C-alpha cells in the first residue's frame, strides 16, 4: 500500500514527480522535482520547497547543477527556480541525489539567493564560475553565430537556387530559341542571296539581249536614215533639173515667138505643131511635182521612219520612196528626150 502524502516523510534531496494541472486544460503535467526544504518545514507544513529538473539547459547559469539518478532521471537542477508545492501534488518517488550533488545544489541556492554562509561559496568560487560561465557563454555565442551563419548561407543558397534555377532554365530556353531563329535567319538569307544572284544573272542576260537588239536597230536606223538623206538629195537634184527644164521651156517659147516673127517661110502648120508640143511639155511639167511637194514627201518619210521603232514596215516605206524617186527620174529623162526631139 502506498503511504499518504500527509504521513510520508519528505527529506531534502529526495526526487519526486510533481503533477500540475495546466490552466484551461484537462491534461496534467508530470515532471521531476528535488526537495530543498528542511525536514522541519516538510513535517510541519502542507507545502514543501523544491526545484525543477530540466532535460537541457536553455541558458548556462552558475545556478545549474547536473544530476543523475541511475537510469531513472538525468538532467539539470534549476536552482534559481524555487517553487512551493502542496504535498497532495507530489506523486511517485524517484530517488535521491548524491551527497556531492546535494552540496552543489546548496551552493547554487546560496548564489541564487545571495546568502553569505559558512559554506564554501566564497568569492573565488563565484569568480571562477563566472569566468567559466563567460567562456561558456562566449563559446555558445560562437556556436550560435556559426549556426546562424551556416543557416543564413543555406537559406541564401536555397533562395539563390530557387531564383537562379528558373532564370537559368529561361536563359537556356531563350538561347535555344535564339539559335533556332539564327539558323532560320541564315537559311532565309542564303535563299534570298540565291534569288538575288539569279535575278542579277537574269538582268545581265536581258540587258545583253536588249543591247544587241538595240545595236541592230540602231544600225538599221542609221542605214535607213542614210537612205532617206540620199532620197532627199536626189529629190533636190530632180527639183533643180526641173527648174532647168522650165528655163529651157521658156527659152523654147521665146524661140517659137521669134520664129513666128521671122519671115523664114515656115508655114503656120509647123508653128502650131511646135506650140502644141510646148503646151504638152508644160502640162507634163505641171503634172510632175513642185519643190514643196518633194519636201513634204521627204519629211513625211523621215517622220515615219523615226516613229516606226525600227519595224519591218520602214523597209517597205523606204522602198516606196525609192520607187517614187526612180519614177520621177524616168519621167524627167523621157521629158528631156521629148524636148530634144522638139528642137
Our measurement of the distance from residue 289's CA atom to the centroid of its chain's CA atoms, rounded to an integer in Å, reads 83
* Structural domain boundaries in the chain: 14-121, 221-342
| pLDDT score, position 311 | 47
d(CA 16, CA 92): 6
Q: Which stretches within the chain are classed as H helix? A: 39-43, 99-113, 123-261, 268-287, 291-307, 313-342
First to last CA, the chain: 195
- The per-residue pLDDT string of the chain (343 residues; one tens digit each, 9 = 90 and over) reads 345 555 678 999 999 999 886 655 567 788 999 999 998 888 889 999 999 999 888 888 889 999 998 888 889 999 999 999 999 999 999 999 999 999 999 999 998 888 865 544 445 655 565 566 566 667 777 888 888 888 888 888 887 777 777 888 888 888 888 999 999 999 999 999 999 989 989 889 888 888 887 787 778 777 878 878 887 787 788 778 778 877 877 887 777 677 666 655 556 676 677 677 777 776 766 665 555 665 566 566 656 655 654 444 545 555 555 666 666 666 666 666 665 565 5
Closest CA to 307 of 224, 216, 231, 208: 224
Look-up: residue for cell 569566468? 131
| pLDDT score, position 25 | 54
| pLDDT score, position 77 | 94
Fold of 14-121: SH3 type barrels. (2.30.30)
Look-up: residue for cell 511637194? 293
Q: What is the pTM of this model?
A: 0.37
d(CA 139, CA 148): 14
Cβ contacts of residue 260 below 8 Å, gap of 6+?
A: 271
| pLDDT score, position 105 | 94
307-313: long-range contacts at Cβ-Cβ below 8 A with a sequence spacing of 24 or more? 309/217, 310/217, 310/220, 310/221
| pLDDT score, position 17 | 93
| pLDDT score, position 336 | 65
Check if the beta carbon of residue 77 is closer than 8 Å to that of residue 51: yes
- Exposure string of 118-152, with b = 16+ CB inside 10 Å and e = fewer, is eeebeeeeeeebeeebeeeeeeeeeeeeeeeeeee
| pLDDT score, position 127 | 58
d(CA 230, CA 305): 14
Grid cell for residue 171: 536563359
Check if the beta carbon of residue 105 is closer than 8 Å to that of residue 34: yes
Check if the beta carbon of residue 63 is closer than 8 Å to that of residue 112: yes
d(CA 168, CA 165): 5
Cβ contacts of residue 294 below 8 Å, gap of 6+?
A: 235, 236, 238, 239
Closest CA to 277 of 299, 259, 295, 262: 259
Residue 9 sits at φ, ψ, to 5 deg, of -95, 115
**Residues in a beta bridge with 20:** 29
| pLDDT score, position 83 | 94
Amino acid at each position: 500500500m502506498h503511504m499518504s502524502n500527509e504521513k510520508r516523510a519528505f527529506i531534502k534531496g529526495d526526487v519526486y514527480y510533481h503533477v500540475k494541472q495546466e490552466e484551461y486544460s484537462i491534461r496534467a503535467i508530470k515532471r521531476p522535482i528535488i526537495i530543498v526544504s528542511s525536514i522541519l518545514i516538510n513535517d510541519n507544513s502542507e507545502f514543501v520547497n523544491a526545484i525543477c529538473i530540466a532535460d537541457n539547459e536553455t541558458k548556462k547559469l552558475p545556478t545549474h547543477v547536473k544530476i543523475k539518478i541511475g537510469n531513472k532521471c538525468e538532467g539539470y537542477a534549476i536552482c534559481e527556480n524555487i517553487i512551493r508545492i502542496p504535498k497532495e501534488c507530489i506523486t511517485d518517488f524517484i530517488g535521491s541525489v548524491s551527497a556531492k550533488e546535494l552540496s552543489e545544489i546548496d551552493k547554487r541556492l546560496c548564489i541564487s539567493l545571495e546568502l553569505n554562509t559558512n559554506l564554501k561559496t566564497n568569492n573565488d568560487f563565484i569568480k571562477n564560475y563566472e569566468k567559466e560561465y563567460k567562456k561558456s557563454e562566449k563559446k555558445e555565442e560562437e556556436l550560435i553565430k556559426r549556426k546562424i551563419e551556416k543557416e543564413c548561407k543555406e537559406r541564401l543558397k536555397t533562395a539563390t537556387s530557387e531564383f537562379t534555377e528558373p532564370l537559368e532554365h529561361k536563359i537556356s530556353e531563350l538561347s535555344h530559341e535564339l539559335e533556332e531563329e539564327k539558323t532560320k535567319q541564315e537559311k532565309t538569307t542564303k535563299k534570298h542571296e540565291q534569288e538575288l544572284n539569279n535575278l542579277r544573272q537574269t538582268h545581265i542576260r536581258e540587258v545583253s539581249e536588249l543591247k544587241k537588239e538595240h545595236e541592230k536597230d540602231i544600225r538599221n536606223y542609221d542605214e535607213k536614215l542614210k537612205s532617206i538623206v540620199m532620197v532627199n538629195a536626189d529629190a533636190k537634184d530632180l527639183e533643180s533639173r526641173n527648174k532647168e527644164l522650165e528655163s529651157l521651156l521658156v527659152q523654147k517659147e521665146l524661140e517659137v515667138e521669134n520664129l513666128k516673127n521671122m519671115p523664114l517661110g515656115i508655114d503656120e502648120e509647123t508653128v502650131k505643131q511646135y506650140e502644141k508640143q510646148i503646151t504638152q511639155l508644160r502640162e507634163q511639167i505641171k503634172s510632175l511635182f513642185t519643190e514643196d511637194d518633194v519636201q513634204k514627201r521627204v519629211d513625211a518619210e523621215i517622220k515615219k521612219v523615226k516613229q516606226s521603232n525600227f519595224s519591218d514596215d520602214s523597209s517597205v516605206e523606204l522602198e516606196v520612196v525609192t520607187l517614187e524617186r526612180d519614177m520621177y527620174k524616168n519621167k524627167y529623162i523621157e521629158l528631156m528626150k521629148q524636148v530634144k526631139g522638139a528642137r
